[in-house]
Amino acid sequence: MTFNNILYDIQSSLLTITINRPKKLNALNKETIQELHEALKLAQNNKNVKAIILTGSGDKAFVAGADISEFANFSVEEGTALAANGQEILFDFIENLSKPVIAAVNGFALGGGLELAMACHFRLASDNAKMGLPEVSLGVIPGYGGTQRLPQLVGKGRALEMIMTAGMINANQALQYGLVNEVTTQEELLPLCEKIANKICNNSPVAIASAIQAVNANFKSGVNGFQVEIEGFGHCFGTKDFTEGTSAFLEKRKANFTGE
């Protein structure tokens, strides 16, 4: 499959997806959102892919926001459909993907860009990164999960301050808030992401998928996360990866997981 707005690069078990619209600071338009969905669906179905890094091209932006020109004249119904469709095919899709997605935030992550980073399982940032949700300055609110995921990550008070001021925070503030896990130089950002991703790739894909599902369950209304964990824990006992992992431990050798 060929893409117009993203780069898709598989090296061993690691997939790097780069949003490639540098002249637009990698802004999300409908086509890019659809292409990201297709790329992630390909990765989900590729047994060789065990971890995914998501980043933006150039040295200025991860994703500087949504492409406002596409929806400036939308009606209420069109705006509602835009948010619902985007959440379904990309933002919720990433969050619930069974393979870990790491956001490499290299520069601006604003509006839909920060929402995209927050949908990933965790985030690393370059020291020039700036993050924010400026939607209220345009007379609208975040529509791709920003009002839900930001409080989960930084707490209600900080989230409301960021949303209501429409201001930006720098990488060190994001680290202090718990919005990102690590801050490093722009040159070292992808190598650090790859180092962490490769550690993930050494572990059981089945167990990782189950862990993602169990952690996400804690944030879903009406779902008992503890019960999801119990069931996931039990399910692991019936997998080949569990047999291999425990055998390797007892035999003092490195496990060779197959994801089954």
Cα-Cα end-to-end distance for the chain: 27
**Based on C-alpha coordinates, what's the Rg of the chain?**
19
Could you say which of 135, 182, 231, 251 is catalytic?
135
115 classed as catalytic: yes
Q: How many residues are given for the chain?
A: 260
What lies within 8 Å, CB to CB, of 236 at 6+ separation is 204, 206, 207, 210, 242
135 classed as catalytic: yes
| Residues forming beta bridges with residue 132, ordered by sequence position | 110, 168
Could you say which of 115, 187, 188, 251 is catalytic?
115
Residue 138 CA to residue 101 CA, distance in Å, equals 30
3-state DSSP helix/strand/coil % of the chain, to nearest 5: 50, 15, 30
Residue 6 CA to residue 232 CA, distance in Å, equals 34
Contact, 1 vs 42, CB < 8 A? yes
Residue 43 CA to residue 10 CA, distance in Å, equals 9
Active-site positions read: 115, 135
